[in-house]
């Protein structure tokens, strides 16, 4: 098998596996969310537009360049491809990016009007880069939703380097990343756990 084809197949298998896990957790309802990974040759493997992430097949994964253009013009990338490409461009160490639409991220991001959601005193915070103790706080930036993804990317870009736990688009969902798919999934699971805890605490106080 051609080396580039084999590499793409490995990336596609990682993406299928991630989609199944995210679907089991209820983080990618209907055709929501998107998943990508960086291949060894610099191409980005990403989910095709309109696919249910729990039922992905390897041929539902396409490749794009760093500008988000599909290598095969017949393929339609996910609507938020530019946000994935942005993360890879600005963080060379990143190997996978995940975007989900959980209930907790959707509700909290619409309820919190501050520019960031502050998490503090949770042990699970240590899953994020640079976090070594529960006795600290971590800010998750919140950005207003925008159907113009290129414009949204310009709003998000200045915050890179200051988002160890990723970010949330209001009423939309989370973006997280890691050096590989396993790390990205661990960070997504950690963030979603913390968001679920915050939502439960707010309900208990209501």
| pLDDT over 60 (residue 148) | yes
Which long-range CB contacts under 8 A does 134-140 form with residues at least 24 apart? 138/164, 138/165, 140/116, 140/165, 140/166, 140/167, 140/168, 140/191
| pLDDT over 70 (residue 1) | no
The pLDDT-based confidence of 137 (bands split at 50, 70, 90) is confident
Domain with 40, as residue range(s), is: 3-205
What percentage of the chain reaches a pLDDT higher than 70?
99
Determine contact, residues 171/101, Cβ cutoff 8 Å: no
Q: 182-195: buried (b, 16+ CB within 10 Å) or exposed (e) per residue?
A: ebbbebbbbbbebb
Confidence (pLDDT) at 131 = 77
Give the residue-averaged pLDDT of 58-62: 95
Report the C-alpha gap between 96 and 188 in whole angstroms. Answer: 11
Q: 33-65: buried (b, 16+ CB within 10 Å) or exposed (e) per residue?
A: bbbbbbbeeebbbbbbbebbbbebeeebbbbbe
Binding residues for Zn(2+): 99, 101
As for how many domains the chain has, the answer is 1
Sign of CA dihedral 50, 56, 57, 60: positive
Strand order of the β-sheet with 173-178 is 61-64, 44-47, 34-38, 96-100, 173-178, 167-169, 137-143, 116-120
Torsion angle, alpha carbons of 116, 155, 60, 25, to 10: 0
- Helix and strand numbers (H, E) in the chain are 5, 8
Binding residues: 99, 101
Give the residue-averaged pLDDT of 9-33: 96
- Tally of CB atoms within 10 A around 151: 9
Residues 119-130: tens digit of each pLDDT: 988 889 888 887
| pLDDT over 70 (residue 173) | yes
Query: What CATH number does residue 192 fall under?
Result: 3.40.225.10
Q: 119-139: buried (b, 16+ CB within 10 Å) or exposed (e) per residue?
A: beebeebebbeebeeeeeebb
């Amino acid at each position: 098998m051609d080396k580039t084809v084999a590499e793409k197949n490995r990336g596609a298998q990682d993406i299928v596996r991630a989609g199944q896990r995210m679907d089991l957790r209820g983080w990618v309802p209907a055709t929501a969310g998107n998943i990508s990974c960086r291949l060894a040759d610099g191409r980005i493997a990403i989910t095709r537009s309109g696919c249910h992430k729990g039922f992905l097949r390897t041929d539902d994964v396409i490749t794009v360049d760093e500008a988000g253009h599909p290598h095969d013009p017949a393929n339609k990338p996910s609507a938020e491809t530019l946000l994935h490409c942005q993360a890879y461009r600005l963080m060379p160490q990143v190997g996978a990016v995940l975007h989900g639409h959980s209930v907790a991220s959707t509700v909290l991001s619409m309820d919190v009007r501050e520019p960031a959601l502050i998490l503090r005193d949770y042990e699970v915070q240590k899953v994020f880069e640079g976090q070594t103790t529960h006795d600290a706080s971590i800010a998750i930036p919140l950005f207003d939703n925008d159907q113009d993804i290129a414009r949204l990317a310009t709003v998000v870009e200045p915050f890179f380097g200051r988002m160890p736990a990723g970010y949330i688009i209001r009423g939309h969902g989370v973006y997280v990343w890691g050096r590989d798919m396993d790390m990205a999934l661990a960070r997504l699971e950690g963030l979603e756990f913390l968001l679920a805890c915050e939502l439960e605490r707010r309900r208990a106080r209501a």
